[in-house]
Chain A
Amino acid sequence: MRRPFRRRSAMAVWDTHFGPNMTPMVDVVMVILIFFMASATFAGGEWFLKTGIPREGSGRSGAQGADPLALPPARFEIALAVENGRTFVRGQGVGECELTELPERLKQLTATAPADEVVLIIRPEATVPYPDVVRAHDAAARAGISRIGMMDIATTP
């Protein structure tokens, strides 16, 4: 009996392939790919807010930089306080409002004073939730203020 197709020997099959053998390379590349994917999921998803830690009374101490005649930056201080579970903002330039209104107020503030010449100090009370402090910082950064500091706990009289 004759087979319709002759089975080829291993050598003959091998001869039909040409070029490098890709299989091990694909294996290795896949492992590397998975490694980078896994490390990316652990590293991603977060960033940082830069915050100064001002010292008490360091506010208007002289001009910065080489120019002795340069004006010190306009310094605004806003206090955060909690009343009935809501966070309120009180301070120069923004008046008194709820935290949700702070972005608007800061926009008005930076409309009158150039944002890059403003130093904003946030002074939260001890009971203010930390996410609200971050939110105030976020609002300030969104208004274009880059120099933001956070004071120690405000003591309520």
Chain B
Amino acid sequence: MRLRTFHPQHPFGSINVTPMIDVVMCLIVFYLIVGKLAADQRATIRLPVSSTGVEEKAQETLIINIMPTRANAPARYVIDTLDVSPENLEAAIRDRLLDKQDVVVELRGSRELTYAAVAFAMRACKEAGVESVRLATERVGPGEAGWTGGGTP
């Protein structure tokens, strides 16, 4: 039986760093994703479905999330993960569009809302000088679930 040779300059033998780098990289990627999601302007909203739409990336978007609240309460308006009260909405939009050009305003309304809540946001956009918005929808093929029928899905 041969004993391991004793190297006084490497008391633990040489450490293999490859698995450590793997693990550390996984952790880095994990935190990157989590951080990206946390900083994202989008809130988790169940969007209405549509079979048409455009997919385009805009240089700069102003995302207004419109979320339902408890029954008959006014909707919540969330911009940049911050709750904006309805009376401050127009000022908030104006503020964010200040000195900027080609900002696309995106309305992400929940499918549980009535038009009143969305119309309120559109009115605020109109007052702030926005001429067109885009409505975020969930993509669905024609004839798929949610397309036919007049009532709420």
Give A contacts to B, CB under 8 Å. Answer: 23-24, 27-28, 31, 34-35, 38-39, 42, 45-53, 55, 80, 85-88, 98-100, 124-135, 137-138, 141-142, 150, 152-153
Count of B residues near A, CB < 8 Å?
55
CB distance from A122 to the nearest CB of B (A): 9
Q: Which one of B5-13, B84-92, B131-139 is at the interface?
A: B131-139
**Residue contact B114 to A129, C-beta cutoff 8 Å:** yes
**Residue contact B52 to A50, C-beta cutoff 8 Å:** no
Residues of A within 8 A of B122 (CB): 53, 150, 152
Please pick, from B55, B116, B126, B136, the residue contacting A55 in the complex, using a CB distance under 8 A.
B126
**Residue contact B113 to A49, C-beta cutoff 8 Å:** no
**What's the Cα separation between A125 and B114 when bound, in Å?**
9
How many contacts A-B (CB < 8 Å)?
146
**What's the Cα separation between A5 and B33 when bound, in Å?**
51
- The answer to whether A46 and B137 touch (CB under 8 A), given A39-B33, A129-B114, A131-B49, is yes
Residues of B within 8 A of A152 (CB): 119, 122-123, 126
**What's the Cα separation between A27 and B116 when bound, in Å?**
52
**Residue contact A48 to B106, C-beta cutoff 8 Å:** yes
Residues of B within 8 A of A39 (CB): 33, 36
